[in-house]
Structure 1
Amino acid sequence: MGFGSSKPQPLPENMKAVIVGGGYGGAQMARNLQGRCQVVLIDPKDAFHHNMGALRAAVEPGFVLKTLIPYKKSFGDNFKRGLVTAIDPDNNCVTLENGEKIPYTHLVIATGSAGPFPGKLTSPMNISMEEAGKMYAGIAKEIADAENVVVVGGGPVGVELAGEIATDYAGKKKVTLIHPHDKIADPMTNEKFQSTLKGQLKDLGVNLVLGERVSNLKSLPLGYTTNTLTTVRTDKGQEIEANLVLPCTGLKTNTTAYGTSLGDKMDTNGRLKVNEFLQVNGHKNIYAIGDCADVKETKLAYNAGVHADAVTKNLENEAAGKELKPYKPGGFFMALSCGRNNGIMTTGGYVIGSFIAKRIKSKEVFVPMTWKKMGQPVPEVK
């Protein structure tokens, strides 16, 4: 567990924790509880998707195998593959798409968010490792074949994807990043962060079109290379020629599991309203963590893991008859890679440049650490 060096406290043998969603928060929760009480981790995929390495997989053939970690090898019989479509708080059970009902004493909802490929693997939701491998092999070929690439959206995914392409195909492709705001990555970052990151992208040859929105996105061929150039138009009249357009916008909360059952507990973004203990409002034995919780902080994989640790500690407190400890969001933190050799980090208002960021994230995009947490060795990729 990651909540300090304190020794994990006992949990009741009759506690049955059902965790819906096997992303960074859900997998951390399952690791925290495995072997200590009854645990069921439910996810429609057969493997954990390390999406912090997804954009490297989009340009490096074979790297996708380092981003897919089989659940069964990590959790054994504690893992159940399936899609939760309903939650019954009155009878303490969840219902799978096939009609199967799974009871719980405690429920942790960690369904995360959905977004466009290649940043996310959420369509179809039950995609297999084999299918995912083919998808990344396909996008890597599309990028290799394209000469003019336009990345739409300058959030973290768009920035990292543009950086990966511009690094691996330096001088061989024209890469343009279009974003509707002047600040890229995250609006909470300061000017030093912005100037440093924009400078790294420009040094890689990325053309930045900021403060402009793509006006004809719906009519463009997305995600595949065309033989002839197509025109990407912005709301300010600019036209950019491309034969590959990659959308990196439209991240949405994944509400499939609870959208009907707990619809009255959602905010306008589909996130579950939680109290200071990360309990869903009105339900003391239902928690929400990660992207699907309406905690006022940046949605990061790191924060999802911290949520899992906080909930684990409060399950221990509950078992011991102690008061629950409120979760307090930490300060703003962000680590971005900008290709293999550049990157940037910020914490507490300080900006850390490419030398440290490369060592921490850009070089290996947290692959060894993630496989270690999942209790498996990183596979060799030829």
Structure 2
Amino acid sequence: MPPRVVIIGGGYGGSAAAKALDDVAEVTLVEPKDAFLHNVGALRAAVDADFAPRIFLPYDKLLSRGRVLRDRAVQVEPGTVTLASGATLDTDYLVLATGSGYPFPAKSDLDDSAASLAKFGATREQLTEADRVLLLGAGPVGLEFAGEIKARWPRKQVVLIDPSPGILSGYSEPFRAEILRQLDGLGVELLLGDSLAQDPPTEVGTAGAFTVTTRAGTEVSAGLWFRTHGVTPATGYLTGALAGARLSGGQVAVGPTLQVKGQSTVFALGDITDVAEPKRAGAAMRHAEVIAENITSLIGGGTELGRYEPGPAALLLPLGPHGGATELPGGQLLGPGTTSEYKGADLMVGRFSETFGLTGKD
């Protein structure tokens, strides 16, 4: 019998690891969603009804030998996975790839794709109704969402509030300046170095006029607000010997080989790791590549494992289908045209459709 590999979580990293190991092991990918949600395109799905269905990619054709099991892991320890259905899985190698939660619409917490699509539609209706939108958080998500809103409704007012004195810390000054230039051209208002004393009185994502006051005393009026910050690692299912690897913030301690600290057959990737780097899809997929190579080596009796080295800061930040900028490793700056070509126009839907065997969806 081939060695058994159980991968918990079918996001970017988990799906990539499962596909890479499909030919060398008996792979079971445990994922509660009925389709892969391409989160890279989620913000556009909130403003574009035609685009929204394209970010849901069925798992049916991801693996040729292994299986995708629609279930949720509730207790996981080395060698054993207990599922919400009550079933248990025994495994020789375990990959933790459950990612993180993030406020909607950047991510959806619904497992049913039809329900999730309906939620995107409801958000789009609220956005259509509101004349002025407040976004709490001016990180990459907030900036990208502002660009999507302005691209869809150029006359709609958008204001972002963030306690940081500037945007995109850790990236080059030319990159930050280019993003600020484009935001100014779009008419996006930035209130930096400030925050709200309390959340707006209306429900998040629900249209309704309100006025709030920042800690600096600035009054802000809007008809709709969203939270565009706040990552929560999904690791509450870890039990037994793995519970001790869970850090106070919810992340999992890993070594350079991406093995969970104290474990030789348990690996972790993506947002849940304590690797010091931005938590993005590309990093999770690079983690998956290292993990797949290491598990393949262990299966073959190898003892020398590959090490993951975080790369230099890089970011592709679209501001709508035709705007944005890119900073490549080493600091090279690319403008809106190239950014749109690489990511902005279809937000990589075509690329991931091919990964999931869905030709014709690009």
TM category, shorter: over 0.9
Corresponding residue to 1:258 among 238, 241, 249: 238
Find the counterpart in structure 1 of residue 195 from structure 2: 213
Whether contact under 8 Å (1:86, 1:261) holds in the other structure is no
* TM-fit CA distance, 1:246: 1.2
Corresponding residue to 2:130 among 133, 138, 146: 146
1:285-324 matched pairs, under 5 angstroms: 285-322=265-302, 323-324=304-305
1:359 equivalent in alignment to 2:346:
no
Provide Cα deviations, 1:338-376, integer angstroms capped at 9, x if missing partner. Answer: 111111111212222212111111111111001111111
Alignment length (residue pairs): 359
Find the counterpart in structure 2 of residue 176 from structure 1: 159
User: Structure 1 60/18 Cα, relative in aligned 2: closer, same or farther at 3 Å?
Assistant: same
Whether contact under 8 Å (2:13, 2:284) holds in the other structure is yes
* TM-fit CA distance, 1:233: 2.2
Deviating 4+ runs (over 3 angstroms) = none
SS of aligned partner of 1:143:
helix
Distance 1:239 1:357 in 2: 35
Structure 1 gaps, min length 5: 1-12
* TM-fit CA distance, 1:220: 3.6
User: Structure 1 301/236 Cα, relative in aligned 2: closer, same or farther at 3 Å?
Assistant: same
User: Structure 1 143/261 Cα, relative in aligned 2: closer, same or farther at 3 Å?
Assistant: farther
Corresponding residue to 1:343 among 294, 319, 324: 324
1:26-37 matched pairs, under 5 angstroms: 26-37=14-25
Distance 1:218 1:108 in 2: 40
Q: TM-score, normalised by structure 2?
A: 0.95
Find the counterpart in structure 2 of residue 106 from structure 1: 93
Distance 1:67 1:345 in 2: 22
Provide Cα deviations, 1:114-152, integer angstroms capped at 9, x if missing partner. Answer: 011100012x4xx20110110111111111111111111
SS of aligned partner of 2:322:
coil
Corresponding residue to 2:76 among 75, 84, 87: 87
- Code of the residue aligned with 1:154 in structure 2: it is A
* TM-fit CA distance, 1:218: 6.0
Distance 1:182 1:193 in 2: 16
For structure 1, which segment, 300-309 or 189-198, has the greater mean C-alpha deviation from structure 2 after superposition?
189-198
Distance 2:280 2:352 in 1: 15
User: Structure 1 53/153 Cα, relative in aligned 2: closer, same or farther at 3 Å?
Assistant: same
* TM-fit CA distance, 1:285: 0.3
Structure 2 gaps, min length 5: none
For structure 1, which segment, 31-40 or 261-270, has the greater mean C-alpha deviation from structure 2 after superposition?
261-270
- Code of the residue aligned with 1:368 in structure 2: it is G
Whether contact under 8 Å (1:87, 1:261) holds in the other structure is no
* TM-fit CA distance, 1:259: 6.5
Provide Cα deviations, 1:50-96, integer angstroms capped at 9, x if missing partner. Answer: 0100011000013221101112343376000111111132xx11111
Distance 1:20 1:350 in 2: 36
SS of aligned partner of 2:63:
helix
Distance 1:315 1:221 in 2: 46
User: Structure 1 378/118 Cα, relative in aligned 2: closer, same or farther at 3 Å?
Assistant: farther
Distance 1:147 1:155 in 2: 23
User: Structure 1 300/378 Cα, relative in aligned 2: closer, same or farther at 3 Å?
Assistant: farther
Corresponding residue to 2:63 among 75, 96, 113: 75
Distance 1:211 1:259 in 2: 40
* TM-fit CA distance, 1:378: 4.8
Q: TM-score, normalised by structure 1?
A: 0.90
Distance 2:24 2:54 in 1: 29
* TM-fit CA distance, 1:261: 6.1
Whether contact under 8 Å (2:158, 2:189) holds in the other structure is yes
1:110-149 matched pairs, under 5 angstroms: 110-122=97-109, 124=110, 127-149=111-133
Distance 1:234 1:261 in 2: 45
Identity of aligned residues (%): 33
* TM-fit CA distance, 1:40: 0.4
* TM-fit CA distance, 1:260: 7.1
RMSD across aligned positions (CA) = 1.6
Distance 1:84 1:61 in 2: 33
Find the counterpart in structure 2 of residue 6 from structure 1: none
